[in-house]
Structure 1
Amino acid sequence: MYKLIIFLLLALPIGVFAQTVTTGTVFDYSKKTLSLPGVSIRNLNSKKSTSTNREGKYTIGANIGDLLEFSAVGYHTDTLYLTNLLNRTIYLPVKSNSLKDVDITAVRMNSQVTDAKDPLAEKYTLLSTGGNLNRKRMTDKVGGLNLNLGYGKYRRQQRKEADLEEKEMYLQEIDENFTAKAITDMTKLEGEELKNFMIIYRPSVETVKAERPYRYAYYISRAFAAWKKLTPQERKLQDLPKLKAN
């Protein structure tokens, strides 16, 4: 009887410990086999924190219902709601590079350039931002978990905020690159013509998002070639029709 009591007392701390930690491994989202060392993991409920080792593995104190945050330099921050404490695999996507370092010096304005396809154009896809990334299926979500207990609403709100932030980022990028000075330097347009050109040919968020990095100088040259083919009337903004009186 005494031996049984001693065995239970010795086994109790191990059992308690096993139920108050969670473990896992963090990988690069694009390169699934590339583990990530030095990723910071923070328990937003208990404020405990740790980081992954050289193999990308981590162990952190946690309970079911806690929210874990994963962050690393150059990667999107993501969160995980714990519905159990089983070992899991986490994937972090790389952040996209900013276009602010691109320096375009000149573009030749002739038909051979403006009517030709861009041989250097490359397609890039920008992932959603803010820890609310569109993964392939539920099996690609952190740990393949089905988030519930009200957390689904929290995630939807996060996705909505991330979409707004992403749109604002693209609008700011367009404002910084599709400027009156850049257009005038390339096309010599000024005054009312410049204003109309910028309104008619301002690139949309969808257009800029579809091609990364977006080549604004090349786009302006193509738009100017199309502009020169318009009639003087077509280059003017049309007035809105007047409302008929009842």
Structure 2
Amino acid sequence: MYGRKNKYMRIKNYMYQVGLCLFISVLTNLSAQVQAQEVKGIVHELESSQRVKDVKVKNLRTKEETKTDSQGNFTIGGQLNDYLTFTQIGYNVDTAFIYAGGVQRIYLTRDNKSIIIDEVVVSRLTDSRLIAEIEQAQNQGKVTEASQTRGGLRLSPSRLFGKKGKQARKNLDLLLAEQNKRKVDRLFSDQTILSVVPLNDTELPLFREQFRPTLEFIQTASPEDVRIYILDSYSKFKSKK
């Protein structure tokens, strides 16, 4: 009788532990789902990096709106692949595409103010601002112009050899390189990599930088091609350690 009672207690304790684990798992999943329905970020001024308060933030999908606090922070309902617009007097209206988790850092540019393009600045631009800067650099870097007398186009020495034209073409190279990098990163994302191989928080950014595939590969690769590429790269990554 005593043995049967002990067996019953062991079964009861086991069921309790299983139930507790399931309860914790459910709470964890619910918490993750709640967090996934929010987008958090900080709005900065591009050149000074100062935080900008009272910026109106709008989710174009849900139409929800909020404003940044005194430290430039915002939280708004949203998820991956949403578009957020940022509006503030004195700054260009900007739109950000949310394609990665974590805190979003948004950098606004002043109205009608040209910016000095370098690798740091380019990495901070939103997609919409990046496209605008590419168009501007393409126009400024053109080496031909319309002929006023003969019609058609003619080569412009001032545009070809001028300082402004040269700088525009240099800027264009930086801008296009950043745009291509983002196209790759959206498919070669943290989520995609971690769904295939185990990497910790320190290893993940190193792995992405060392084994970021080319744009040509990403544009033609199937999901299975990407998975195999990640597995192969992971083997090389671990062999170097």
TM-score by length of 2: 0.43
TM-score by length of 1: 0.42
Q: Which has the larger radius of gyration?
A: 1
